Amino acid sequence: MKKWMLSVGFVFTLSAFATACASSDAQNAASTGAADQAITISAKNFEFDQKEIRLKKGDTVRFTLKNSQGRHAIHIDGYDKDIKDNDTVTFTANRTGRFKFVCSNMCGKGHSDMVGTLIVE
Ligand SMILES: [Cu+2]
C-alpha cells in the first residue's frame, strides 16, 4: 500500500515537472521567436568583419556582436537598435532601405571608421 502511494506521488511529481518545462519552453519561443537569419558580427580595432548585411523585408533577424579585440558596440540607424558585446538583439526587418550601422562605443582613434550598411530589400 505504501509502495503504491509512493509511486503515484512520484508520477505526479514527474508530470508537474514536465508541465513546467513545457510552459517555459513555450515562453522562450514566444520571447525569442524563430529567426529567419542569425547574424554574428565580430568587431576588432577598428573594423567590423561584415560591412554589408543584406536582409529580405519581413525577415526576423538575430543580431549578435562579439568583440575579438577592443570594446565596441553597434547602433543601427533607422531601426534604432543597439547591440552590446556578447549581446543578441532580435528584430524584424520591416523597413526597406539602406541603414548605416556604426560603432556606438568610443573605442579609440579608429572609432569613426567602424561603419557598415544594413540593406533591407
Ligand atoms: Cu568605437
Decide: 75 and 90 in contact? Cβ < 8 Å: no
Give me the domain span that covers residue 20.
1-32
Q: Are residues 18 and 48 in the same domain?
A: no
How does strand 74-76 pair with strand 47-48?
A: unpaired
Tell me the mean pLDDT in the region 89-98.
Answer: 97
Rounded to whole angstroms, the Cα distance separating 22 from 30 reads: 13
Q: Are residues 16 and 53 in the same domain?
A: no
Residues less than 5 Å from ion ligand 1, measured at CB: 103, 107, 111
Q: Are residues 61 and 111 in the same domain?
A: yes
Q: Are residues 107 and 57 in the same domain?
A: yes
CA of 98 to the centre of ligand 1 (A): 21
CA of 73 to the centre of ligand 1 (A): 7
Decide: 54 and 117 in contact? Cβ < 8 Å: no
Q: Are residues 12 and 48 in the same domain?
A: no
Tell me the mean pLDDT in the region 75-103.
Answer: 97
Please report the beta strands in 1-121, taking only residues with DSSP state E, as ranges in sequence order. 37-44, 47-48, 52-55, 60-67, 74-76, 81-83, 88-92, 97-103, 115-120
User: pLDDT averaged over the chain?
Assistant: 84
CATH classification at residue 52: 2.60.40.420
Q: How many domains does the chain have?
A: 2
pLDDT band at 34 (very low <50, low <70, confident <90, very high): confident
pLDDT band at 2 (very low <50, low <70, confident <90, very high): low
**105: pLDDT strictly greater than 70:** yes
**9: pLDDT strictly greater than 60:** no
**19: pLDDT strictly greater than 90:** no
